[in-house]
Amino acid sequence: MPRSLEFHGSAAAWDDYPVEIIDSHSLGPHQRIVLSFADSGLRFKPGQFLNLSVPGHLLRRPLAPAGQHGSEIELIVTPFGPGTHKLVRLKPGSRLRALAPLGNSFPVAPGDAVLIGAGAGAAPLAFLAARLLAYGRNVTVLHGAPSNEDAELVRALYGGLEVQLEYFSEDGSLGRTGLPTAALHELLASGAEVTVYSVGPYALMKAAAAVALAWRRPAFVSLDAHMACGVGACLSCAVMTKSGQKHACKDGPVFAAEEVRW
């Protein structure tokens, strides 16, 4: 593997930080939450995550930042079960704790990039887009959603970035009708020599990986495994790869698509 494709991030460098919510507002069905890490000196890389405490819940929730500005970390939270529903209702001024930074990060591959995602998967992908642009890469974003519900989300995350953004809605209410994987297929069939990065539902990442591998393009995914400790101590995040069982929290969450046993 060329050096530029090595994964970044040290699973040993995390700590348990006090954090404060300094802003929280909705973006359609999602919530943008800004956390302050005060003067921690903490630096996240795109793809890494934090494990955030939720009042009244024993286990923390893994969330992958959409960006970092000094000591402020931007999160996109999509309410799913009780923990994330509670998180999106917390007011600015709420104090929580976060284990961070956890896991590895996306490699910056040579050449241009296609980022294909959906829902809150857009958060780490937008962070990655900013990093890739800083390295001079051209970035195409293919975002899929059931309807136009993610319009505010993509505007907020990608509006300030010089990416080529294409929105796909299954019901045709915004952008192109259908799935973003169809556009990925078209792009790779045209001979585009790009690296593919995908974060979203399992089915989307699996389909994106299959298209990339069919056209022999490198692809990276962030596996959304069920997590508890977040630091490699409990085995709840086990995923199967071609080199055996791995901890998504410690060995991932970013994996080369060809390594994953889908």
Ligand X SMILES: Cc1cc2nc3c(=O)[nH]c(=O)nc-3n(C[C@H](O)[C@H](O)[C@H](O)COP(=O)(O)OP(=O)(O)OC[C@H]3O[C@@H](n4cnc5c(N)ncnc54)[C@H](O)[C@@H]3O)c2cc1C
Whichever of 195 and 222 has its CB closer to ligand X, that residue is 222
Min dist CB 227 to ligand FES, Å, is 4
- Is residue 235 close enough to count as binding ligand FES by CB under 6 A? yes
- Is residue 150 close enough to count as binding ligand X by CB under 6 A? no
Ranges within 55-114 binding ligand X (CB under 6 A): 59, 61-64, 75-78, 80-84
- Is residue 249 close enough to count as binding ligand FES by CB under 6 A? yes
Q: Sign of the CA dihedral 222, 227, 229, 233?
A: negative
6, 26, 32, 49, 240 from 156: Cα distances, Å: 30, 11, 9, 20, 35
Residue 49 binds which of ligand X, ligand FES, none (CB < 5-8 A, kind-dependent): ligand X
Whichever of 41 and 81 has its CB closer to ligand X, that residue is 81
Residue 76 binds which of ligand FES, ligand X, none (CB < 5-8 A, kind-dependent): ligand X
- Is residue 45 close enough to count as binding ligand FES by CB under 6 A? no
Min dist CB 161 to ligand X, Å, is 18
- Is residue 241 close enough to count as binding ligand FES by CB under 6 A? no
Residue 232 binds which of ligand FES, ligand X, none (CB < 5-8 A, kind-dependent): ligand FES
- Is residue 224 close enough to count as binding ligand X by CB under 6 A? yes
DSSP secondary structure, the chain, as one string: --GGGS-B--TT--EEEEEEEEEEEEETTEEEEEEE-TT------TT-EEEE--TT-SS-EEE--SEEETTEEEEEE---SHHHHHHHHPPTT-EEEEEEEES-B----SSEEEEEEEGGGHHHHHHHHHHHHHTT--EEEEEEESSGGGHHHHHHHHTTS--EEEEEETTSSSSEES-HHHHHHHHHHTT--EEEEEES-HHHHHHHHHHHHHTT--EEEE-----SSSSSSS-TTEEEETTEEEETTTT-SEEEGGGB--
Min dist CB 74 to ligand X, Å, is 10
Min dist CB 145 to ligand FES, Å, is 28
- Is residue 260 close enough to count as binding ligand X by CB under 6 A? no
* Residue ranges that bind ligand FES, judged by CB under 6 A: 227-230, 232-237, 247, 249
For ligand X, the binding residues (CB under 6 A) are 49, 59, 61-64, 75-78, 80-84, 120, 123, 224-228, 253
